[in-house]
Each structure stands twice: as structure tokens, then as C-alpha cells.
Amino acid sequence: MKHYDKIFLVASLIVLGLSSAFFFINEPKIAAEKAQTKKILAGDPAGEPWKNLDIEIKTEEPLEWPEVKAQDADGLWLFQVFTPPKIWVDKSGVFISQPPRKAEVDPVKTFPIIFSEIVSTVYPIKYTGDYGASLVQLLDTRTNKPMLARKGEEIVVEELGTGGVANKVKTGLTMVSFSKQRVKNDKNDTYEDIATIVLDDKNLGRQITIVSNKPTILADLNELVLKSKLNPSFVWKMKKAGEKTTLDGLDYEVKELDFSKKSAVVEQSKNGKVIQTVRVSADGNTVL
């Protein structure tokens, strides 16, 4: 056996001896502590003893919130439960229930009428093709029926009558002129034929110009529509200046109308006295 093995063996024997000595010395003390702990756990706890208590379970019941009652003889001081009262003092030192000065009100916020939309009236007759200048094909979008037009002749369509018999009905439309022009489209470097038809419409009492198959807008029949911020049922359709209406006891009159800018100047009054004049537009309201 080498000398370092002997050293390791001696050290191990020393540790073993010390451990055995510690156990034999402390073993009676450990046994006594175990017995004491066992005795304490077997006894009754100190202090107030635990009791089982019956807890009353509350059930939901409908309750009525009491009416707000006035705190003064005039019935002006109404205090809500969770709202602190607003009390002011006048110049003489007397408490008052209303503010001595009127708060400044933004007229734009109080003006109830705002812009809604512009409704355009589209002429129901469309150009769909032609067989030369002498015969042009049109379409009535209201009935989805085609019509043939000849220059200087009133357009006639066929409608089924009683017994399935076809009757010829005059439309009140007469083609005054028809022309075609070839125009270059610079975007895609192509050419297209632009047709122009002038109709004499007896129903409208005037002539209407139709360009190719584009929709024909009857500008004089356009309507600018205004609505109310507070009253969803209020709708005001207007075609020209001078039109009037009433809303919530106030009178309103259109002073100016501009369809291109989607705006109308509206005067608000009561009993003939002007309150304010506001420009109502798609971009918002402006006090004038």
C-alpha cells in the first residue's frame, strides 16, 4: 500500500469515528424532542376554538331608484346621488342654482343640419349602336326595351295590348340629329368613334344630347340632400336657392346652392329673426 492510500484510509476512519460519536451523543436528545412534538400534536389547540357558522346568502331583488327631489322651494336645485351639486354665488353673496354667466357655445356644434349626398338624375335613354346615320339604336333603361330612331320621325315602340295584340305607341321622342367623330385615345394610342345624338323630348319639353354610351346627367334635376345629426328621420332635398324647411321649431332657408362644390348656404332663424348663417358642405360646416 502506497503512502497516499494510507493517508486516505486514516482520514476516512477519523470521519467515521466522529460521525458515530455525534450520533451516540445526540441520540437521547433527538428521541426526547420527537416525544415532545408528538405530545403537543395530540393535545387540544390553544386560543378560541373553531366554530361552524351559518352564513346568510343574499338573493337578488328588484329595487326602484328613488326619484330626484328638489332641494329648494323653487324646484331648481336637483342633486343626483353621484353628481356633486353645481352651486354659484351672485354679486350680492347669495347662493344661486344657475351660473351667473352663460357659457360660450360653438355655433357649428349646435347647428343640427349637415351634408348627406348629391342625387344625380340620369336620362333613361342610352345609345347602343347604329346602322349608319339613317338608323340609330337606343335603349330605354326603365323598361330595358330597344328603340330604333330615324331623323325627324317620332320614335314608336310596340307594346302588347289586350288579347296579346301588339300596339304601336308613340314615345314623344324624336331624333333631331346624329353624328360620329373619330377621336384618338392618347392613353393607349387607339381611336374610337364618339356618337352624338340630339333628341327632342316632348315629355321634358326640351332637347337632350346623348354622347355615345355614356350616362347623360340632367344637371337641372340634381338634388342636394341634407340631414340632421340629431333627428335621423329628417331629410331635406333641394334643387335651388330659396327653398325652406323647419326643424325642431327653427326655420331654415337655402341662400346659395353649389352642386360642383357640394355645398349650400343655409340661414337659420326663429320668428323672422336670423340666428346664424352656415355653409353646409361635404367638408363640414362653416359659420359665415
* Cβ(240)–Cβ(257) below 8 Å: yes
**Residue 157: all three cell numbers together:** 315602340
Most confident of 130-134, 211-215, 244-248: 244-248
pLDDT of residue 226: 95
Report, as an integer, the average pLDDT of 30-48. 74
Mean pLDDT over residues 184-204, rounded? Answer: 88
Asked whether residue 182 carries a pLDDT value surpassing 70, the answer given is yes
> What's the chain's length in residues?
288
Q: What is the pLDDT of residues 201-230, one digit of tens each?
A: 999 899 999 998 788 988 888 899 999 988
SS3 letters across the chain: CCHHHHHHHHHHHHHHHHHHHHHHHHHHHHHHHHHHHHHHHHCCCCCCCCCCCCCCCCCCCCCCCCCCCECCCCCCCECCCCCCCCCEECCCCCEECCCCCCCCCCHHHHCCEEEEEEECCECCEEEEEECCCCCEEEEECCCCEEEEECECCEEEEEEECHHHCEEEEEEEEEEEEEEEEEEEECCCCEEEEEEEEEEEECCCCEEEEEECCCCCECHHHCEEEEEECCCCCCEEEECCCCCEEEECCEEEEEEEEECCCCEEEEEEEECCEEEEEEEEECCEEEEC
pTM (global) more than 0.85? no
What are the residue boundaries of the structural domains of the chain, listed by start?
A: 107-117+221-287, 125-216
Question: Where does the pLDDT of residue 72 fall: very low under 50, low under 70, confident under 90, or very high at 90 and above?
Answer: low
